[in-house]
Structure formats: C-alpha cells, structure tokens
Amino acid sequence: MTPERKFTLRFYGRINFLKVIRDFVKEIVSLRGTDPITVHAIVSAVDEALANVIHHAYGGEPGEVTLTTKVDDTKLSIVIRHRGKGFDPASVPKPELNRLAAEGRKGGLGLAFMRQFMDEVEFRDLDDGQHECTLTKQLPPA
C-alpha cells in the first residue's frame, strides 16, 4: 500500500489563477495513474468550487485560499479553505434544468456538477473563522 501523499498550495483567489490551479490538480491526480475521464471530472469539480469561492465568498476580490490534496491507493481528497463568506449548501435548491435551459442561464449548476463529479462534497465552518469545502473521490486501484 502506497502511503498518503499530501500537497498544499496557498494562493490569492483570482479568476486568472484558475488555470494554474487546474494544472496543479491535474498533475497531482495524473501522477497517481488515474484515467483521463476521472481526472477531468475531478479538475472540473475543483475549478467550480474555487470559482464559487472567488465569486461568492470573496465577491470577486482577491482573498487567500488554501488547497490541500491528499491521495492514496483508494481515495483522493481535496480540501479548500478560505476566510471569505460562508456557504450553506442547503440554501441552494436543486436546479430545474428545463427552466434554466429555457431561460438561457449559464449559472446555478455548480454545486450539482460538483456532486455529480465527486463521491462526496462537504462544507464546514471552522472554529477559527475559516470555511472548508472537501471534495472526495474513491479511486480504482492504480
């Protein structure tokens, strides 16, 4: 059994940094030998979570974000922490796809995508004022 590998990246959340973060996550997940479709799903979920932090938690202003990846033989966890505005996933109604398509809206599907792409999506408010989103994916043996 391979020991858990952990990588942490601290950065100021800006939309123009998302490509660098996507590349970082893609490299970490790919190093493990994960198939390209699963890699794309994981990167897309992380991208969506970070875009939400930048747009909603920090209101588009730069704010510090910490992203930690933990990967072993069976599981990948990505933990995103920030000090912006918190988020209650229960406040987001299940998207009505037909209505959104009829309105031509492009937003409102981020949480649904994250939940579709990952096995677990959890949000927590921490005692130190930070907020945390944990994305978990079970991985087939490498």
The pLDDT score that the predictor gives to residue 111 is: 87
Cα–Cα distance for residue pair 114/56, rounded to 1 Å: 16
Domain ranges across the chain: 5-138
Cα–Cα distance for residue pair 81/133, rounded to 1 Å: 7
The pLDDT score that the predictor gives to residue 95 is: 65
Q: Contact at 8 Å (CB) between 68 and 78?
A: yes
To the question of pTM greater than 0.85 for the whole model, the response is: yes
Instruction: Assign a CATH topology to domain 5-138.
Output: Heat Shock Protein 90 (3.30.565)
Q: Contact at 8 Å (CB) between 74 and 141?
A: yes
Q: Contact at 8 Å (CB) between 135 and 77?
A: yes
pLDDT tens for the chain, 142 residues: list them: 667 889 999 998 888 889 999 999 999 888 888 899 999 999 999 999 999 999 999 998 889 999 999 988 889 999 999 999 998 888 876 766 666 656 666 666 788 889 999 999 999 999 999 999 999 999 987 6
CA atoms lying within 13 Å on the CB side of residue 92: 15
Counting every residue written for the chain, the total comes to: 142
